[in-house]
Structure 1
Amino acid sequence: MKAVIELSAARVVASSAARGAEAKAIQVLIEEVAKRTGVTWTQLDSLPSEPQQQPLIIAGTAAALDSLIQHRSELEADIGRIQPEGFIVHVAAQAGTPIVYIIGKDVRGVLYGVGRFLRKAVMSEQSIGMSVQTHIVSSPSFPIRGHQLGYRPKTNAYDAWSVEQYEQYIRELALFGANSIEILPPRTDDDATGPLMKVDPLQMMIQLSAIIDSYGLNVWIWYPNMAEDYSDPEVRTEELAEREEIFSKLSRIDAVMIPGSDPGGMHPVPLFEWSGELSELLQRYHPQARIWLSPQVMKYEPRPWLEAFYEQVNQEPEWLGGVVYGPHIDELLPVYRERIPQKYRIRRYEDITHNYHCQYPVADWDLALAMTAARESYNPRPLAEKHIHNQFAAYADGNISYSEGINDDVNKFVWSDQDWNPDTPVIETLRDFARLFIGSEVAEGVAQGLLALEQNWVGPLIINDQVEVTLQQWMQMEQEGGPQVLNQYRFQMGLIRAYYDAYVKRRLIYETELEHKAKDLLRDAGRLGSLNAVEQAERVLEQANAAPVAQGYKQRCCELADELFANIGSQLTVERHFAIAVDRGAFMDTIDAPLNDANWLRTQFRLVHGLADEQVRLLHIRQALSRTNPGPGGSYDNLGSYRSAGRVDPGMGGYEDPGYLHSPRVAPSIYLLRMNEEKKRALGGVPLAWAQHVNALADTPIHATYQHLDPDSAYTVKVAYVGDTVDAELSRDCWVRLTVNDCYVIQDDIHVREGMVTIHESSIPQEALADGQIKLTFQRMRGFKRLNVAEIWIIRQPVQL
């Protein structure tokens, strides 16, 4: 046990010359200690004239504290080696008055030193302590460290925040080393206002700029081009006028980032010409501010568009401050760095907020979790985020993350800490996070609990015994924690995930067995009669609703969802909490999504009821039960399953290629399950096998190998292709080619329509079977950049005797 110096009676000494952001850092130190302990420190502007035993905390820049440092021999060398934004936190407690030094290389360094002090302090009611062995000398590894906080209804919490809540969150991000906050203009690809907004969007933008500036941090603006035609002079005039109003009213702007698309969609030539014009306008009001461009693209074929972007960058326009690397850039970051002139910095714009249909999806995520937790649930992924950060850290100058709300809260702090020092162990960040934001007494439990939540999502859910253990750990903290812990929204976020995961697993086990029982009844339809069998099978499936399991877990999730809405405006439902959509954080709306094939079976039941002849009804039932049967000697693969996904060549693999730019990945198609009944019936129902598939981006092929085939038999291959989600602004149709053994084209220019499932069956050339092994290669030829393959049947044809 380390010796601890008690600091509740300490006084804070800061230079009388401290102003602006330096004075703000001292204010943060005193206020954050008072919030957590009830202790209010007195601030002095000089050392006490008489020796006293009360501890002192001396805080400020090295220059400002020159006359106040009493232990110069201990600190001189360290002061000389800290870099810009760096700091020293040192306890000098050997003799006399105990002193804690918080020394910044510059004004920002003071704030980050205060942050490290608060992270390491042990705080409780009327008490604050610090290890007597504390000696931290630290400087940041990357110059760009921050997060996007967009005030718009699309986010799952930010739009409900007051100005005060925004400031507190910005302050907390700064305590973990963030030096940049990116804000959004009132007009984006979202509604201008929403039911939870307390402040006019432009007024919030103005106030956020001032708040960020008050901490001495950089103000970035994410500013998409929303007009249809920038070649129209009237449109151009209107767009410039909108931006001039914003540029002129914000007290600080350091950079404006313009995405190439999502939203927007200019070709690089007019994009660069327009951006140069904007730069002149921006610098009229903020002379040091620069324009940064992101070549993310969805509207065009990605490769030609990106090549045109490189061509423009290589002309090295003087107004360009740097370039951005983020979602929808189909190039590995090391390659991107090689193609960009070295004079330009690269800022990462990493998606840390989404679980799927995103830049860095949860690897091999169980379908039951994808259908329930969905795209924006609370998703602490500390180990994965550290790996993603460090895999490409050397090729950029830091990151300002892409975030859609509070669900990725843990991930933000992991990224900030890694941007400061990529050697920082994740568990150290989590301990600091839990100690500062939830409480010293539960810090270790919460830190380990967050790691456990990440492990809940690893592997098949139905056999993941970690889920129950994780819930037991969080429940014990819930039972033993006092109001100070239980009312912390960050504790509530972890707790609801523990209950939620356990509830989904219980349902998965239960509903899987109900499906098997229903199918057993259908197999007995010849004896029971088709309509009777269907009726009994329906009653069995309905037990999932009539006699549900683990309702105590669900009820606790509902209670926590309401508490989180009250605490932080977290919108976990559409109706009760005003989320704009289920996939925008409202994962409580999908907590009871069917986890078996009940909906597909019910479509079959309705089709059976529409048939007049008993024998035809029985035939339909048999065919439905045999949907996945490839016949004797054949093979069937649902490529979204753990077993079948292993048949696919992993390419680079998710470890080396976490964005899966050159590696097929398992991805959900939840939108198919949400089709209206008419569309489902047109497809003959939507089985769960279509709700998760193998996916490849851009020009990456999908290879699947089959062995142990009979060279003397004839085979066909049947494939279910899943079209991408329907988009109102651009077609997501694509065209596919299937080859065997890299030389036999057996399906060519197959049109895969967006929002639909396309099934094709083709013969396999006999000569391709000579050694009993075939390799199937699926290649997107043109159209939208995502290729999705859900199912493959290798069907052995009956031998003609």
Structure 2
Amino acid sequence: MKIIHFRNLLFAFILLLHHGVFSQIIDLSKASILASSSIATQFKEKMIAVLQEEIALKTNLKLSTSPNEKSPFLVLALQNSPLVNTYPLPTLTQDDASSLQKEGFRLVHQQIAGKDLLWFIGADQRGLLFAIGEFLRTADLSKQKILFDKKFEKSSAPMYAIRGHQIGYRNTANSWDAWDFKQFESYFRELAFFGTNAIENIPFQDGAASPHMKISREEMHIKMSQMCQAYDLDYWVWTPADVDLADPKKFQEELKAHVDFYKNCPRLDGVFFPGGDPGENHPKYVLPFLKAVAAELKKYHPKAGVWLSLQGFSDEEVNYFYEYLNQNKPDWFTGIVTGPSSPDLAATRFRLDKKYQHRHYPDLTHTVRCQYPTENWDQAFALTEGREVTNPQPAYYAKIHNRYAPFTDGFLSYSDGVHDDVNKVIWSQMAWNTEKDVRQVMVEYARYFFGNSVAEAAADGILALERNWVGPIEENGGIETTFAFWQNLEKSHPELKGNWRWQQLVMRAYYDTFIKRRKSYEQGLEKEANAILSQAQTLGPEKAMTLALEKVNQADVKPASPELRQKVVDYCEALFQSIGLQTSVAKYKASGAERGAILDFIDYPLNNRWWLQDEFEKIRKMTDEKAKLERLQIIATWENPGKGSYYDNISDQLKGPRVKTKTEDATDVAWWDNGLSRRRLSTQLFQNFPKLEYADLDPKGSYTVRISGQGEALLRVDGERVRPVVYHKGVEEFKEFQLNPKFISDGKISISFDEPEESHLNWRLHSKVFDIWLLKK
């Protein structure tokens, strides 16, 4: 009886919770909006419109600005506002102190005479905008309902002053070159709701018009400035000099282009001049140019700053810059920007006079060949999804932000499209508060963009997509689980099918799963082909090659999971229609294969069928039958050299278990031949100087080290240099080293490599190691 009674009580308690008896949820569905007269008129009208439009979009409710004494109020105010209507601002407490700081805000509930008031109180105009963003991210806004839980009341201010994103209206962008004014304004507004306070445009560089542009670049540059002015967001410009500034005529022409642009900008807060990427000018020419730029800039925008990055500068050029700064201490100079190919971020802050600011320029948009390459990324993803795929990596980028932020005054990220939308939000939120929980940021992201009912599930789905990319694809069982999870969300929320953020996330779940299944299938075919090649002595070389090639080419004749591939194609079409995302050069006129053209690589081979076809052509030209059989045996046993022997693919975690070193960007050379290399897959991965460790060797065995690579391979075994018996330097040509029995006597060895002197060579020509065998005779 006691148990039944307890169960009844528990059931009743749950019902009470469900109906809100013990909750602190405020129903604001019938609210009207009040705004303080102390807010500047234009900005006040903009914020009222923002609140009305956002609520109407999500709830179909149109909030009135006519006071209704019977309804709740949403009250917009500044901290220094007098009475709003007849209501005084809520009393400040010690816990509210942060809200008084620049850009700070309070979002606080108050009940007066039974009436609910939700206050949006900004320390300044931007603080008011960020208070509105906080409300929109945390409130339950559903059809005909506005519900706010008091647990989301907040007093807050940002930790870092600069929180922005580069959104350059140019041809190389993979999506927003197709946008109109309304789409840009919506995106700026949405970024601001997550704490962004600056937008950086690219007015000069990359002058070619995109075939997708509906509006001229010149018109859009000015319009973007006007949009920032309307929302009180900082407007920056990225202005590299592709001309020779040592030439007085070109110097003046470049300066005039700057001046003409400044005159027409309604708002301009920062001019960022990259020292390199692009640009090849020595600082002895850059600094006088920037001094002249600053003088002209101040005429039209007195508070605007001039910034310089040291990207691509040599040690001599970096030293020249600091000597100039220390000797002249120019007031016209604002600070340094640290981005890809810049000197170390922490060292820069240490060396830079405290008079000057320091801004991070993080690359949030790329996965490989970039500043922060995706860690432990499977080669199959790198080859097919490429450099600008939809890449939500909230945990990864939160970690990077928090590692480097203490050395900066904030950031303005590099981006070239909407595919990194999640990363922009996580970086903005971490810059607001580095202690914010990553999952909570994703819940708020999903709540705002997808709705309260799916917020928790979609947040977990985003985090699961990030985990799809961790480690060998064959061992990542979570990929199929994540796919089933997103498939269920896709089916249960058809109302979101036109939402471009939703489309991107669902598409990624399909893409990842398609690639996982395809890799498993195609590599299985290659194993069967290798078994055929191993019978070449019996079948004869010609028949063995024909049958082996037929086997691996089944990947094209009977491809894996065509239904998943079609879903990816369909989502790419939907994304082109909804947001202008260009996922193919041929089909959607992407500006280049690396600029998000994931459809152009979706079928890239994940076995070595292209390489085998080319190798078989070489073998057929051989006149010596014995040589043919020997080469076919090497190919057949490439990854399985036999009992007692070992093979390691240097940069594949699954196929290189004895490799103890890692490379930051192991997939870099996957971009040979414009992304369509016919080389062996293992050859498209490399390390320059790997280290390997072997155990459980036969102490009485005789071993040879074989290396496939390019250039030199200055091998050391147990710290001792070993001379080769075969030493070919071409790509995929072998080097062989016969090991002295003394190395093997204890049953283990370590392998390392000395660095050759190659400073005179382009980095792409530096020596590399692709594959290593330890072959037992």
Question: With structure 2 as the length reference, what TM-score do the two structures score?
Answer: 0.89
Q: Structure 2 CA distance, aligned partners of 1:770 and 1:516?
A: 34
Is the counterpart of residue 776 in structure 1 residue 755 in structure 2? no
Residues 601-610 or 362-371, more deviating: 601-610
Q: Provide the C-alpha distance between the structure 2 equivalents of 1:426 and 1:568, rounded to a whole number of angstroms.
A: 26
Contact residue 472 and residue 654 of structure 2 kept, 8 A = no
1:621 to 619, 632, 652: 632
Deviation at 1:602, TM superposition (A): 1.2
Aligned counterparts, 1:284-683, within 5 A = 284-297=299-312, 302-315=314-327, 316-331=329-344, 333-483=345-495, 485-612=496-623, 614-627=625-638, 635-643=646-654, 647-650=658-661, 666-672=666-672
Residue aligning to 2:234: 218
Task: Give the distance between the partners of 1:702 and 1:613, measured in 2 at CA.
Answer: 36
Q: Check the 8 A contact 1:768/1:774 in 2, yes or no.
A: no
Please state if 1:7 is matched with 2:19. Answer: no
Task: Provide Cα deviations, 1:242-294, integer angstroms capped at 9, x if missing partner.
Answer: 21211111111111111111111222332223222222222232222121111
Deviation at 1:419, TM superposition (A): 0.6
Partner of 2:174: 156
- Judged with a 3 Å threshold, the aligned counterparts in structure 2 of structure 1 residues 711 and 493 are, in CA distance, closer, same or farther, namely same
Aligned twin of 1:92: 110
Distance 1:317 1:738 in 2: 52
In structure 2, do the counterparts of structure 1 residues 712 and 307 end up closer, same or farther at CA, with 3 Å as the change threshold? farther
> In structure 2, do the counterparts of structure 1 residues 282 and 703 end up closer, same or farther at CA, with 3 Å as the change threshold?
farther
1:53 is aligned to: 70
TM-fit CA distance, 1:793? 3.0
User: Which piece of structure 1 moves more, 709-718 or 784-793?
Assistant: 709-718
Structure 1 position 70, deviation (Å): 3.5
Per-residue deviation, 1:400: 0.8
Assess if the C-alpha contact under 8 Å between 2:713 and 2:769 holds in 1. Answer: no
Deviation of the 1:617 alpha carbon: 3.2
CA RMSD of aligned residues (A): 3.0
* Matches of 1:388 and 1:80, distance apart in 2: 29
Partner Cα separation in structure 1 for residue 288 and residue 691 of structure 2: 42
Q: Where does residue 727 of structure 1 map in the other structure?
A: none
Find the counterpart in structure 1 of residue 772 from structure 2.
793
What is the aligned length? 747
Question: In the alignment, what sits opposite 1:267?
Answer: 282
Out of 98, 112, 115, the position equivalent to 2:133 is 115
Counterpart CA distance in 2 for 1:669 and 1:202 is 37
1:435-464, CA deviations, whole angstroms, 9 ceiling, x for partnerless residues?
Answer: 111122211111110001001111111121
| 1:95-244 equivalent positions in 2, closer than 5 A | 96-185=114-203, 187-188=204-205, 190=206, 192-227=208-243, 229-244=244-259
Cα deviation code 1:407-435 (max 9, x no counterpart): 10000000111011111101111111111
Q: Distance in 2 between matches of 1:256 and 1:765?
A: 63
Distance 2:538 2:745 in 1: 45
Q: Secondary structure at the match of 1:385?
A: helix
Contact kept, 8 Å, 1:380 with 1:450, in 2: the verdict is yes
SS at match of 1:174: helix
Are the aligned partners of 1:742 and 1:777 in contact in 2 as well (CA < 8 Å)? no
Structure 1 residues 621, 760: CA separation in 2 closer, same or farther (over 3 Å shift)?
closer
Q: Provide closer, same or farther for how the CA distance between residues 674 and 636 of structure 1 changes in structure 2, counting only shifts above 3 A.
A: farther
What's the offset of the Cα at 1:312?
3.9
Q: Does 1:23 align with 2:34?
A: no
Whether the aligned pair in 2 keeps the contact of 1:144 and 1:399 (CA below 8 Å) is yes
Q: Relative to structure 1, is the Cα distance of residues 438 and 513 closer, same or farther in structure 2, using a 3 angstrom cutoff? A: same
Distance change >3 Å, CA 546–CA 240, structure 1 → 2: same
Identity of aligned residues (%): 34
Whether the 8 Å contact between 1:713 and 1:796 is mirrored in structure 2 is no
Structure with the larger helix share? 2
Is the partner of 2:163 in helix, strand or coil? strand
Tell which deviates more after alignment, 86-95 or 142-151. Answer: 86-95
Contact map agreement 2:708 2:771 (CA 8 A) in 1? yes
Contact 1:157 1:570 in 2 (8 A): yes
State whether residues 326 and 348 of structure 1, in contact with CA within 8 Å, keep that contact through their aligned partners in structure 2.
Answer: yes
Q: What is the identity, as a one-letter code, of the residue corresponding to 2:594?
A: D
- Paired letter, 2:425: F
| 8 A Cα contact 1:71 1:92, kept in partner | no
**CA displacement, residues 655-690 of structure 1 (integer Å, 9 cap, x when unaligned):** xxxxxxxx75533421236578xxx7xxxx621111
Change in Cα spacing, 1:275 to 1:716, as seen in structure 2 (3 Å) is: farther
Q: Distance in 2 between matches of 1:275 and 1:752?
A: 47
SS for the counterpart of 2:373 is coil
Q: CA–CA distance in 2 between the matches of 1:163 and 1:766?
A: 73
CA 1:649–1:528 in 2, change beyond 3 Å: closer, same or farther? closer
Q: Structure 1 residues 26 and 468 mapped into 2: Cα distance closer, same or farther (>3 Å)?
A: same
Contact 1:746–1:764 at 8 Å: present in 2 too? no
Structure 1 residues 667 and 694: alpha-carbon distance in aligned structure 2, compared to 1, 3 A threshold: farther
What one-letter code is carried by the residue in structure 2 that aligns with 1:448? Answer: D
Per the alignment, in what secondary structure is the counterpart of residue 225 of structure 1? coil
* Partner SS, residue 666 of structure 1: coil
- Cα distance change of structure 1 residues 631 and 131 upon mapping to structure 2, 3 Å threshold: closer
Counterparts of 2:739 and 2:717, CA distance in 1 = 8
Structure-1 separation of matches of 2:540 and 2:679: 25
Which residue of 286, 294, 301 maps to 1:279?
294
**Per-residue displacement from partner, 1:577-621 (whole Å, max 9, x unpaired)?**
111222211112211111111111111222233345544433332
SS of the aligned residue for 1:467 comes to helix
- What TM-score comes out, normalization by structure 1 length? 0.87
Contact 1:13 1:58 in 2 (8 A): yes
Q: Deviations over 1:6-32 (max 9, x none)?
A: 222111000234323343222211111
C-alpha separation in 1, matches of 2:226 and 2:167: 15
What is the rounded CA distance, in whole Å, between the counterparts of 1:243 and 1:139 in structure 2?
34
Distance 1:269 1:743, change over 3 A: farther
Change (3 A) 1:788 1:125: farther
Are the counterparts in 1 of residues 650 and 772 from structure 2 also a CA contact under 8 Å?
no
Q: Amino acid of the residue matched to residue 237 of structure 2?
A: I
Match in the other structure for 1:729: none
Deviation, 1:58, is 0.6
Q: 1:80 to 1:425 in 2, by over 3 A?
A: closer
Contact 1:737 1:779 in 2 (8 A): yes
CA distance in structure 1 between the partners assigned to 2:138 and 2:82 by the alignment: 22
Q: Structure 2 vs 1, CA of residues 628 and 67 (structure 1 numbering), >3 Å: closer, same or farther?
A: closer
Q: Is the 8 A contact 1:363 1:666 kept in 2?
A: no
Distance 2:321 2:266 in 1: 32
Letter in 2 for 1:565: F
Which 5+ residue runs of structure 2 have no aligned equivalent? Answer: 1-16, 18-22
Partner SS for 1:42: coil
Task: Kindly indicate whether the alpha-carbon contact (under 8 Å) linking 2:713 and 2:753 is maintained by their aligned counterparts in 1.
Answer: no
Give SS of 1:575's match: helix
CA contact (8 A) 2:375 2:664 kept: no
Report the 3-state secondary structure (helix = DSSP H, G, I; strand = E; otherwise coil) of the residue aligned with 1:272: helix
Counterpart contact for 2:272–2:307, Cα < 8 Å: yes
1:337-377 Cα deviation digits (max 9, x unpaired)? 21222222111110111111111111110111111111110
